[in-house]
Amino acid sequence: MFAYLLRRILYAVPILIGVNLLTFTLFFVVNTPDDMARMQLGMKRVTPDAIAKWKHQHGYDKPLFFNAKNSGAAHITDTIFWDKSVGMFVLDFGFSDDGRNISREIKTRMLPSLAIALPTFLVGLLLYVSFALVMTLLRGTFLDTAGVAICVLLMSVSSLFFIIGGQFFISKLWHWVPISGYDSGWGGVKFLILPVLIGILGGVGASTRWYRTIFLEEIGKDYVRTARAKGVSEWAVLFRHVLKNAMIPILTGVVVVIPSLFMGSLLTESFFGIPGLGSYTIDAIQAQDFGVVRSMVFLGSVLYIIGLILTDVSYTLVDPRVRLQ
């Protein structure tokens, strides 16, 4: 187990290097630091001096990958790629274009993101699985068909409409909860209700249908027939047998997103004014702050890889046949 984890973690290093190389290529090779400086300083009437100064300030006045002027290891270490990438592996993200420490921002913004994402995830999972179980229990009836129809309908509505509609009706028209905002501590709960509700609603169609398919696939298997033949009640079949055996496909989809909950949801956070990582990213995208976007890409990949490893570990918990080696 331990050796397996170690190997997986070591395997993550080349992947992260690949991620870094990719974003680096996107940010610095496709568009040279000169282009970026011109962009940041305004497109017209930018003197070469100003560009050189901007590049020096932000540490972009070095060669990209290979420094021919230095000797020894400095060939590689005295370059933009080295400067901008190595720090990330120890989670030191450097400074954003407006001079703030990115690591610090991430730390303070993690909590609000989590405050939205965690309830959405947990309550959502519970609801979706229960809906799917009920629909499986009622399979073939009118209610099941109606449920599927509603799911398809909800799937076809863009999440933007859920957010705009929810804000309009619940907050603006009926004044139940504030439209947007955030507060730490218990006072913040009233701000969180709407985004969490909308997050759950946005996922209900696709997820419920997905779980229903999993359960239906499971319920057609031989062991279910045997259990029924032994006289086990339909409820017991569903909860004691089907749910347990459907755990593997469910976990495959679920566990991998748990670490990414930290990243927050871009849309929800920017609509509801939550000062989390999602809105941080959107702001950075709109302000074209590459340092922040690169850091978030890196962080996202790290969390995704952790999610993959956790998925494998979780298999061993629900299925004793799975052994990691």
Partner 1 sequence: MNFIPVILWSDALVFLLLSAGGVGVWHVRRHPHLLLPWQRVAQSSMAMVSLLLLSVFLLIGGLDTLHFREALPNQSGAYSPEVLSVLDKLLVKLKSQTEKTYSAPFATTLYAKETYTDAAGQVRRDYPKLRYGGAHLTDLSAKNSDVVRRSVQGGLVGLLVGIGLLMLRRLQPFALSLSKGDSNNARVHGSTCSPRTGKLLGSPRTGNVLASPLVIAWLMLCLFLGILANLATVYHVLGTDKVGQDVLYLSLKSIRTGLIIGTVTTLVTLPLALFLGIAAGYFRGWVDDVIQYIYTVLSSIPSVLLIAAAVLMMQITIDTHPQWFDTAASRADLRLVFLCLILGMTSWTGLCRLLRGETLKLREMEYIQAAQSFGVSSLRILTRHIVPNVMHIILISLVMDFSGLVLAEAVLSYVGVGVDPSMMSFGTMINAARLEMGREPMVWWTLAAAFSFMLVLVLAANLFADAVRDAFDPRLNRTG
Q: Applying CB under 8 A, which residues contact partner 1?
A: 14-15, 18-19, 22-23, 26-27, 30-31, 35-36, 38-39, 43, 152-153, 155-161, 164, 168, 260, 263, 266-267, 270, 281-282, 285-286, 288, 290, 293-294, 296-297, 300-301, 304-305
Q: How far, in Å, are 81, 143, 227, 245, 249 from residue 319 at the CA level?
A: 43, 33, 19, 8, 11
Closer residue to partner 1, CB minimum distance, 112 or 202:
202
Shortest spacing between CB 108 and partner 1, in angstroms: 20
- Whichever of 123 and 155 has its CB closer to partner 1, that residue is 155
Strand partners, 95: 101
SS3 sequence of 56-113: HHCCCCCCCCCCCCCCCCHHHHCCHHHHHHHHHHCCCCCECCCCCEHHHHHHHHHHHH
Do 279 and 290 meet the contact criterion of CB atoms below 8 Å apart?
no
Closest CB 250 distance from partner 1, rounded Å = 18
> Closest CB to partner 1 among 30 and 68?
30
Q: What is the DSSP letter of 181?
A: -
- Quickly count: other Cβ atoms within 10 Å of residue 39's Cβ: 13
Q: How far is the CB of 16 from partner 1 (least distance, A)?
A: 8
At residue 51, what is the residue type?
Answer: I
Task: Using the minimum distance from each CB to partner 1, give the nearer residue, 232 or 310.
Answer: 310
**Least separation, in Å, of the C-beta of 42 and partner 1?**
12
Q: Which is nearer to partner 1, 10 or 43 (CB)?
A: 43
Q: How far is the CB of 256 from partner 1 (least distance, A)?
A: 10
- Cβ distance to partner 1 smaller for residue 74 or 181: 181
Q: Are 247 and 319 in contact (CB under 8 A)?
A: yes
Q: How far is the CB of 310 from partner 1 (least distance, A)?
A: 14
Question: Which pair of tokens denotes residue 44?
Answer: 């017209």
